[in-house]
A and B are shown apart, each in its own frame.
Chain A
Amino acid sequence: MDGSTLASATAESTGELAEVRPVSAAQEAWRRFRRHKLAVASAAILIFMVLAVLFGPLLWRVPINDVDFTAHLEGPCAAHPLGTDDLGQDLLARMLYGGRISLAVGLAAMLVGVVVGTVVGAVAGISRGLIDTGLMWLTNLFLSLPQLPLLLLIIYLFRDSLKKVVGPEAGAFILIVIVVGGLRWMTVARLVRAQFLSLREKEFVEAARALGASKFRQAVHHILPNALGPVIVTGSIDVANAIIAESTLSFLGLGFPSDIPTWGRLLYEGKDYLDSAPHWALFAGAAIFVTVLSINFIGDGLRDMLDPRRVL
């Protein structure tokens, strides 16, 4: 202790603090996430749904297009746990298959949106002047575009030609992913830019700059890893938004072709039988709702987990 002065009164307690078992960043993050009970439950539900759509079709081996008019519009029963549709096709098999597409679209569209948004936000955040202004003008322009009409317009105009090139299934998938993701990058871009603007003035970036790091290196190696927290939260919620966007398109009859039973498509077909076979639309709608709700809760839990300023 000779010659050393305590920086502040609170520094005296370091002896006590040292006895607390050190926790790794991952453990600390998990501790924070665990506090959000609904988020943990949602994560369990979401994992179950992902496993179900991935491995369910291996266990439930009923073909999705097995037409059986004797079992037309049947409610849930032993042979068809979720009932059948107007052609007697098994809805459990169709839901499991469609769930793969719905979840894959959500994930892929989120990735497109996050990648585009991060690149735009990072470029705008690291550069000053005209590039920054121009990119932000573009972002604000995209924010004021009416998304659903534009989605419908693009799909209407490009559907047929893409179908000819890569086939109906892949064509619809690529188009929906690109368009949904391409109209959802703006929030991420603004978040990343805001983070860049504050982080690029921090000492550690200044140190990197002093060591001669290029702008690219500063952005990718130093600033970006520290800016990712809010992006992860927004990205997780964007999965839910993308699933809703895809279901909306399918529900309006403009998403996937009728032989690909995504959840939105099942809802679209089932809505005309609401009086005689409500289970058809209800199961599909409930699947969308439960997925979106659990993703939103997980996003909320991630926000608690990744926000270090928040005391829990």
Chain B
Amino acid sequence: MTKYLVRRLSTAVPSILGISIVLFIILALAPGDPFADLATNPNVPPEVRTALHAKFGLDDPIPERYVHWLVAMLQGDWGFSFVSRVNVSTLILQRLPTTLLVLGLSQVLALMIALPVGVGTAIKPYSFFDQVASTFAFVGFSLPTFFTGLLFILVFSIHLNWLPFIYRSDLDVTGWRWYWEEFRQAFMPIAVLGLYQGASWTRYIRSAVLDVIRLDYVTTARAKGLREPAVMIKHVLRNALIPIVTLVALEMPAIFGGAIVTEQIFRVPGIGSLLISSILANDTPVIMSITFVFSCLVVLFNLIADLLYGWLDPRVSYS
């Protein structure tokens, strides 16, 4: 197991390096001085500007600059936000938990929808339930998250006035009320993301289950008298999950994209909305770091998917 983990980690490192090279090339190709805004920004004293110039070694050859940049990133020295004048790492670490919480809960919701519906449609393909569910799934993943978000605000906040449409990190209530308010304000972002993912996963799960449900070993399991739930969960679903895990890992970048949009709509104080506000404020160090963080998260989730893969499918050998 440890050996497998080490081997997987050793393939994750080149991907992170590759991503960092892509990011750096984009930054290096960008025309103009990335710190040009500092000259016109009265909030930044000129000595900070010269110090940054020297630190980033903007006159060095590109490979040398890349190594410097990478070393600084790895040491946790992600620079200094031009706008809020704090370390970028502090800023991101403040925001990251909210993003991960909203994302995580929305994926749980997506699974709670997609698993029963996907399995249900695959048990009786082309039935009435299958037709209705498949149509809804199509509608669900054709609805862009930004539009669903606005529809939710229109219905639940403006017409029904049930839920707040702005996420506040400084709730002034305590105890159970706090949990209730947190739930109310997190509900819409989680639902928007969860429904979107749930719709596309339903289709994956349906086709993955359909692929295995007619195989001989399932008939064998039924013939030896196993109860239907045991057949479905232990025999069908476990094998169907193998391709699903791969697909979900491939979709990770899109999931983070959806998170940025929902955070922006509902003003969730996560790293997605931080990215947008930094872009609008030309805050280059924050933008670069957040993009890098997102890349690392994608690689991390791919790694987790690979480990899950090994657990789900014993044919994948750990040694």
Contact = CB atoms under 8 A, between A and B. Distances in A.
Contacts of A65: none
A292 B142 contact: yes
A48 interface: no
Interface stretch (B74-82, B183-191, B285-293, B309-317): B285-293
Contacts of B294: 146, 149
B142 A296 contact: yes
Nearest to A293: B142
Nearest to A140: B15
B154 A252 contact: no
Interface stretch (B19-27, B38-46, B115-123, B232-240): B19-27
A118 to B, nearest CB: 20
22 contacts: A137-B18, A140-B15, A141-B18, A144-B253, A146-B253, A147-B253, A147-B254, A148-B257, A149-B275, A157-B26, A244-B144, A247-B144, A248-B146, A251-B261, A252-B276, A253-B280, A271-B150, A274-B150, A285-B150, A289-B143, A293-B138, A300-B138
A156 B279 contact: yes
A152 interface: yes
A161 interface: yes
A300 B138 CA distance: 10
Contacts of B256: 146, 148-149
Nearest to B153: A274
Nearest to B165: A274
Interface in B260-304: 260-261, 264-265, 275-276, 279-280, 282, 287-288, 290-291, 294-295, 297-299, 302
Contacts of A293: 138-139, 142
Interface string A119-162: 00000000000000000010011011111111011101110110
Contacts of B141: 296
A203 interface: no
Contact of B19 (A141, A264, A292, A300): A141
Contact of A161 (B19, B31, B282): B31
A12 interface: no
B250 interface: yes
Contact of B279 (A152, A289, A296): A152
A146 B138 contact: no
Given A141-B15, A154-B26, A252-B276, A148 B158 contact: no
A284 to B, nearest CB: 9
A145 B257 contact: no
B298 A144 contact: yes
Interface of A is mostly: helix
B32 interface: yes
A149 B144 contact: no
B147 interface: yes
A160 B141 CA distance: 34
Interface string B27-58: 10011101000000000000000000000000
Nearest to B264: A252
A145 B298 contact: yes
Given A153-B287, A157-B30, A144 B143 contact: no
A267 B250 contact: no
Nearest to B143: A289
A153 B138 contact: no
Interface of B: 15, 18-19, 22-23, 26-27, 30-32, 34, 135, 138-139, 141-144, 146-147, 150-151, 153-154, 158, 250, 252-254, 256-257, 260-261, 264-265, 275-276, 279-280, 282, 287-288, 290-291, 294-295, 297-299, 302
A300 B297 CA distance: 32
B150 A267 contact: yes
A16 B190 CA distance: 60
Interface string A208-241: 0000000000000000000000000000000010
Contacts of A248: 144, 146, 257, 261
A308 interface: no
B253 A247 contact: no
Given A153-B288, A275-B158, A296-B138, A145 B144 contact: no
Nearest to A161: B31
A157 B29 CA distance: 9
